[in-house]
Amino acid sequence: MSEFKKKSLEEWRKVLDPEQYIIMREEGTESPGSSELNHEKRTGSYHCAGCDTLLFDSEKKYESGSGWPSFFESKSGVFETKIDHHTGYPRTEYHCKNCGSHHGHIFDDGPQPTGKRFCNNGKALKFKVKD
């Protein structure tokens, strides 16, 4: 088990800001359009804000019009998924495999070549500019 998955909720409260805590530990969702990462165009990589695991490359990001940073492909093996019924209909929710942090939902309406849309909460991500 990852050292991050062993953290208590109190330990997470100390390292995440209040909004990150709600999103990443309580499966909350930030307001659409609220993330500065929606408009991030620089080349780089997107990492889990909880444990720094590399999740997405900037080349896989696209403008979905959803109001959240969206990607058509993640790094292999970095997420665990489960079915979320909170909205009254099933959606596939994804969590960082390393630390268990909630990131968002996967939809089947993305661009080719995958047809996937990883709709990610910006507060759950850390962007690193490529040197």
In a domain, residue 1? The reply is: no
**Which range of residues forms the domain containing residue 60?**
9-129
Residue 3: pLDDT above 90? no
pLDDT for 1: 57
Does the annotation mark 48 as catalytic?
no
Query: Which H or E run includes 92?
Result: strand 91-96
- 3-state SS class at 33: coil
pLDDT for 2: 64
Cα diameter, the chain = 44
CATH number, domain containing residue 110: 2.170.150.20
In a domain, residue 3? The reply is: no
**Structural contact between residues 105 and 82, judged by C-beta atoms closer than 8 angstroms:** no
In a domain, residue 4? The reply is: no
In a domain, residue 2? The reply is: no
**Structural contact between residues 80 and 71, judged by C-beta atoms closer than 8 angstroms:** no
Other CB atoms within a 10 A radius of the CB of residue 112 amount to 7
Of the residues 48, 51, 99, 119, only one is catalytic, namely 119
Condensed to tens digits (0 to 9), the pLDDT of residues 79-129 reads 999 998 877 788 899 999 999 999 999 999 999 999 999 999 999 999 999
In a domain, residue 59? The reply is: yes
